[in-house]
Structure 1
Amino acid sequence: MRLQAAILIFFCSACLYGQAQVNSIAGVVRDSLSHEPLPYVNVFFANTSIGTSTDSKGEFILSGFPSGKYDLTISFVGYKTQQYSFDFSESTFKLEVALAQELVQLSEILVKADTAQWKQNFLTFKENFIGTTANAAKVAILNSRDLHLFFDSGDKVLVAHAKKELVVENKALGYLVNYQLIDFTLDYKYSRMQYLGIPRFEELRPKNNLQLKKWENERRKAYEGSFAHLVRLIYQQELENSKFQLFELHEIANPERLPQQFLDERIRYWRTANLQNNAGKEKVVRRVGDNNVAVNGSGLSDSLSYYLRMRSLPEKIDSIGRAIKTAADLLRPGSTNIIQFKGRLKVLYKEREDVLYVLDKRRAPQRFQESTVHFMGSELKIYPNGYYEDVRTVFMGGYLGWSEKIAEMLPTDYKYVEK
């Protein structure tokens, strides 16, 4: 699906700080051809639980939400979904939107799908989209058969498309997530996975107060140590008082690995020596001190194995650099909301790793949750509600790469209360 531009007229009273006390946005949605008002259109901020529907006159209003940046999303069956970004700081916006009908092309319907391998492909999709945390076991895609899944065995790529919004029920956190899947690609060849979509959160109704408290506790656990948590702390200038520890990461030559050219020469030599020894043509002699010592078949194999093992070591390794002690160490001078950093950060969060993560890594547990965050752009703009842009320039690995999936996803308007 491609997000198209609509006719948009807005009036902003954000500059009237003395008058504007509450963030709000109101407007009317019409058909772009007939200009008739459209009732029952979904109007919401993406990745939040803030939303409404247009009334019989096509009108809507959202108000009383926290300051920050939001992606206003307007969605209606049979029309192209529209999305616009607004930065609220005690601001009021009024707008008129003309929705264009979606002309369904044959090429958009005929999505190549591998029906024979659908179950296996779905399990793979679910692991990478929902996640493999303990909460993931309590998450279900209620309309999974609306998914088109195709695995390209040549390129080793799994692609997913959805005919309609995916309805994801998260009984661990107490949310129903309506997810417009725009793109999902799992590339085995390059070990890359990316997905893009528009989530809309709805609160599930708890059976009793006990379930509500359990959801609140699980939401707190999902938030603590998350990237949204880190972004908010940087914006609030409270990084130094948190459980986060940040360090710059640099790549250096592996001191335990011999130069590549030397290794290639040694491996060629000992492979030839092995072949000659097996053929019984001549004895191979190795210089040891002042003496020449004949090398038997076992010694030849040991030498070859040594250099092969050496070549399997990574040419580059990570080296920990400067410690990031305060938010000011990352922010552009004089700015409170622009991270000016390009490269990789080692991110430690002073809590134990989840046992499922340890099992997935097949190693002993480490003291803290350890992640890498790669900032591809030179700057990243952040907002008080945890919103950041451009999301496509941030990549996470390690613990965050494992945990930042749908099963642990919270709406941007989640209000964290520290215990």
Structure 2
Amino acid sequence: MLYLLHLTSWAQTGTVTLTGTVTDEKTGEPLPFANVYINNSSIGTTTNEKGAYVLTNLPIGSLDVAVSYLGYTPIKQTLRFEQPGRKTVLFKMRAGMELEGVVIYSKKSKKREQRLKIITRELLGAGPFGKLCKILNPDVLRISMEDDGHLMAQSTSPLKIENRALGYMIYQDLYDFDFYEGKVFYGGNTRFELLEPKNEAEKNLWRANQQKAYQGSLKQLLTSMVTDSLRENGFRVFQEIPDSLRRFNTVRSVNGLNPLKNHLHNRIEEIRGAQLVRPGELETERLVVSRTKLEVFNINKHGRSPYTDMGYAYTLITMPQGYIVISPAGWVVMPMGFEIAGDLGNDRFANLLPSDWKRE
């Protein structure tokens, strides 16, 4: 899963202007009207007739820059900017799409239609916002059912998802989609474009829905860690205690925070955001550090959890490298294998906001 988080502001640190060209890898010919954008955001542009592009006001730090062009394999490249100024990056694209192990079904196949319904449900989500979203070009999906029961899919060109709940058109280069035994994994490049509202009422509705989508989201969780305001924003975060440090029969109270009453063996303890966040190499970066798993409860949302006295929406977070890199406003810029299971892992395109979305 790719987890989509919003952009910070960089008033005092300076910004980067990125320029360059997009050309055919073999012929060197320029590719006009190619899309060049910051992955998972609404920040982007198109190349001119000479294949040239300009992206301005980019933050210092690490960014995933993506390029797409009809009939060519999409590109994603991680760039790191440590100083403000003008930078040049040239992109060379390969003609043709690389699809591995995908069987093409007839557009009128009943099996395809059944499997397309599953893919649509898993990409858009089953919540109320999902009803206001639709895939406009499902014909670009190549779908297969593996012998072991895995439902797989890829797109031959960007999948167009119209989200009229939040006011975005989403273009998704779907590299991988894997649905098996109720669990879904998918990935690829994502570009957001603002839709034009029909009137002021729809504009206000979209903004209100965006605020709802932000509440209790992964973006809000990480921002709350940075500002040391987890409890204030409805989160309780517990950290797994290493075996070598488990000395008591019950969970201890740390920094005045209450333990889980019915949890024995001193396996987890509540932790504050300030204990998890460290300064990064740059002013625009923060490290969220935890060598052990984090268990997160959204106390503003009822749901299932492993604990009888904590009937709230539950999420399990694992950092295989022991840390991730984020912006101060909660944009994950270096996920480092970040894994999320549970409530926050259920986000779908119906309630995902672009990285550069800013809360009021």
- TM class, shorter-length: 0.7 to 0.9
| 1:132 partnered with 2:133 | no
| 1:331 partnered with 2:277 | yes
Task: Verify the 8 A CA contact 2:225 2:272 in the aligned structure 1.
Answer: no
What are the equivalent positions in structure 2 for 1:199-278 lying under 5 Å apart?
199-239=190-230, 241-249=232-240
* Structure 1 gaps, min length 5: 1-16, 253-316
The residue that corresponds to 1:401 in the other structure is: 345
Task: Verify the 8 A CA contact 1:240 1:326 in the aligned structure 2.
Answer: no
Task: Verify the 8 A CA contact 1:67 1:384 in the aligned structure 2.
Answer: no
Q: Normalization by structure 2: what TM-score? A: 0.78
The residue that corresponds to 2:290 in the other structure is: 341
The letter for the 2-side match of 1:85 is T
Rounded to whole Å, the distance in 2 between the matches of 1:413 and 1:400 is 19
- Cα distance, 1:377–1:34 mapped onto 2, change above 3 Å: same
| 1:82 partnered with 2:29 | no
What are the equivalent positions in structure 2 for 1:143-154 lying under 5 Å apart?
143-152=137-146, 154=147
Task: Verify the 8 A CA contact 1:247 1:320 in the aligned structure 2.
Answer: no
The residue that corresponds to 1:301 in the other structure is: none
Shift of 1:209: 1.2
Rounded to whole Å, the distance in 1 between the matches of 2:234 and 2:344 is 15
**3-state DSSP class of the match of 1:412?**
coil
| 1:51 partnered with 2:44 | yes
Shift of 1:27: 1.9
Rounded to whole Å, the distance in 1 between the matches of 2:328 and 2:86 is 19
Rounded to whole Å, the distance in 2 between the matches of 1:66 and 1:91 is 8
The residue that corresponds to 1:38 in the other structure is: 31
| 1:97 partnered with 2:40 | no
**3-state DSSP class of the match of 1:117?**
helix
Shift of 1:66: 5.2
What are the equivalent positions in structure 2 for 1:284-363 lying under 5 Å apart?
321-327=268-274, 329-331=275-277, 337-353=286-302
How many residue pairs get aligned? The number is 324
More helix by share: 1
Shift of 1:88: 5.0
Shift of 1:193: 2.3
Shift of 1:396: 2.5
The residue that corresponds to 2:353 in the other structure is: 410
Rounded to whole Å, the distance in 2 between the matches of 1:33 and 1:149 is 30
Identity %: 26
Task: Verify the 8 A CA contact 1:29 1:38 in the aligned structure 2.
Answer: yes
Rounded to whole Å, the distance in 2 between the matches of 1:116 and 1:319 is 53
**3-state DSSP class of the match of 1:215?**
helix
Task: Verify the 8 A CA contact 2:37 2:65 in the aligned structure 1.
Answer: yes
The residue that corresponds to 1:141 in the other structure is: 135
Task: Verify the 8 A CA contact 1:159 1:184 in the aligned structure 2.
Answer: yes
Rounded to whole Å, the distance in 1 between the matches of 2:38 and 2:280 is 30
Task: Verify the 8 A CA contact 2:324 2:336 in the aligned structure 1.
Answer: no
Shift of 1:406: 1.1
Task: Verify the 8 A CA contact 1:186 1:194 in the aligned structure 2.
Answer: yes
Task: Verify the 8 A CA contact 1:251 1:318 in the aligned structure 2.
Answer: no
Rounded to whole Å, the distance in 1 between the matches of 2:89 and 2:65 is 13
Rounded to whole Å, the distance in 2 between the matches of 1:58 and 1:204 is 26
The letter for the 2-side match of 1:330 is L
**3-state DSSP class of the match of 2:15?**
coil
Rounded to whole Å, the distance in 1 between the matches of 2:265 and 2:175 is 34
Rounded to whole Å, the distance in 1 between the matches of 2:312 and 2:100 is 46
Task: Verify the 8 A CA contact 2:70 2:157 in the aligned structure 1.
Answer: no
Task: Verify the 8 A CA contact 2:37 2:191 in the aligned structure 1.
Answer: yes
**3-state DSSP class of the match of 2:300?**
coil
Alignment RMSD: 3.4
Deviations 1:340-359 (A, max 9, x none): 21332221223234xxx78x
